[in-house]
Structure 1
């Protein structure tokens, strides 16, 4: 009986000792190390290129010197964030005037409403200077690309819709008519990009700064229930991200994350200098009319960085 008691005491002591050691071990011991993006590719239109901001960057795509991809890179390399480091490579192929057709060949498969079918033959982005189907921005996304940002869609509407007239009921009607086809084009584009990227890539798709009713003199008092053109554009992008993410999530082989970055909300909550140039740009080095300012570039970078931190 004494032997049994001594054994029991030894076992109990060992269990207590083990539990104490386990409790004192840092919680991070069982957690995977934080990821570090290796290859970042930026795709999109002039909302990425930021024409004139900080000056002109040489090239045909009318890029400014200060753009959100490089500003995002600074934020993700910051101490305490460490989602990028000095070995991370950045590939920028954004171009002023770009359409979904400049990003992916698959975007052109989606037909528009018959009354607007002529948009199928619209030329590619003004500054892209490439024939449709030859070179696509998505071609820059490789199997080692583990971060992609996409800002696209506004120019697909621009042929028929004036985004600077958010309260015009005719403009809003045309935008609503185009929205379902635009959403499908965006889904095709996002899925094409995701399929080219690393299996564990993060795809961050941004919305746009949207002219809000409060910014229009007198507000939209005639049609207060009608979504603005910007609202319709951002909804199409957000829904496309949701659909593409659902498709991606149904694949057991993929761990890609597709996330929406709500730029309109970020702009609405922003406190400080203007993030968007109005119809008449007064500062020739701070963005062209109807485009982000230097402050807007920072806002884009901050909003995307927040989403990426949450995505892990």
Structure 2
């Protein structure tokens, strides 16, 4: 079940109005209450949101939620006690609307169920599982140097058409569907789409991370494309988008261990492969905070 902390004695926030881009009073696309006025917050998302493997893990939590994931850090930093972390490892956008059977065999409620009419802040991190991002990354792994193996850049473009690009483009309208449903359930909420961080630098770092140079570049191009689609859909719907690509660029799986924010194929303790570690979640929280408090 999602973690829920309820704030008592909260004064109702001012009504929220969406304004046109370029309004002098607001640098964002949404004219929302200042951060201190957010009395309630719901986080929706997949494992890049929930933080599986990162201590401390919630006892018995079937979704791998960490108390150090970026939604919890945001809620803590803003003093939001009425906070629900509905994110769940392996979630797709379908699990927002339907019960999800987790990797631990438990069934959890639809993530949308955490939303209320008075919810004031909602962050969303989704799309990677819908387009098979982790499977793509694992398919790019080669134990041997080229040419002894298979290039994921080639296997995903068998007839000259990139099937990962096709999956991303087909998924794009789902972001608008998600935004519309959040607005229907929580009409006063400020909605923030959170992108995916840099996974691997151009050219990679084979053999430290066993992804061939061209495949490393290909893999990151797909992450970038998903982020671009997310940003475009957020802008079209007049909601916030948080870019994690630039801030994490030098902290990918090829970075030195002490500066690495993304766990590699053989992760250190307190992380799982090809996912953000605790430092990566701290950065994500900082980027979200910078967006909603400017």
TM-score (norm 1): 0.66
Equivalent in the alignment of 2:196: 208
* 1:51 Cα deviation after fit: 1.0
Give the total of aligned pairs.
Answer: 235
CA distance in 2, matches of 1:33, 1:65: 26
Structure with max Cα Rg: 1
Contact 2:204 2:216 in 1 (8 A): no
- The structure carrying a bigger helix percent of its residues is 1
TM-score (norm 2): 0.70
Contact 2:203 2:214 in 1 (8 A): no
Residues 1:163 and 2:137 are matched in the alignment:
yes
Equivalent in the alignment of 2:65: 63
Compared CA separation, residues 308 and 34, structure 1 to 2 (3 A): closer
Aligned-partner SS, 1:41: strand
Residues 1:265 and 2:254 are matched in the alignment:
no
Contact 1:277 1:289 in 2 (8 A): yes
Equivalent in the alignment of 2:146: none
Equivalent in the alignment of 2:290: 306
Could you report, residue by residue, the CA deviation over 1:191-229 in whole angstroms, capped at 9, with x for unpaired residues?
211221133x21111111233443613785599799722
Aligned-partner SS, 1:90: strand
Contact 1:96 1:127 in 2 (8 A): no
- Pick the aligned partner of 1:146 from 120, 136, 152: 120
Structure 2, unaligned stretches of length 5 or more? 1-31, 142-150, 207-211
Aligned-partner SS, 1:42: strand
Equivalent in the alignment of 2:236: 243
CA distance in 1, matches of 2:219, 2:68: 35
Aligned-partner SS, 1:154: coil
Equivalent in the alignment of 1:182: 171
Equivalent in the alignment of 2:269: 284
CA distance in 2, matches of 1:284, 1:33: 39
Contact 1:95 1:127 in 2 (8 A): no
CA distance in 2, matches of 1:60, 1:227: 30
* 1:175 Cα deviation after fit: 1.3
Structure 1, unaligned stretches of length 5 or more? 1-31, 78-83, 106-122, 246-257
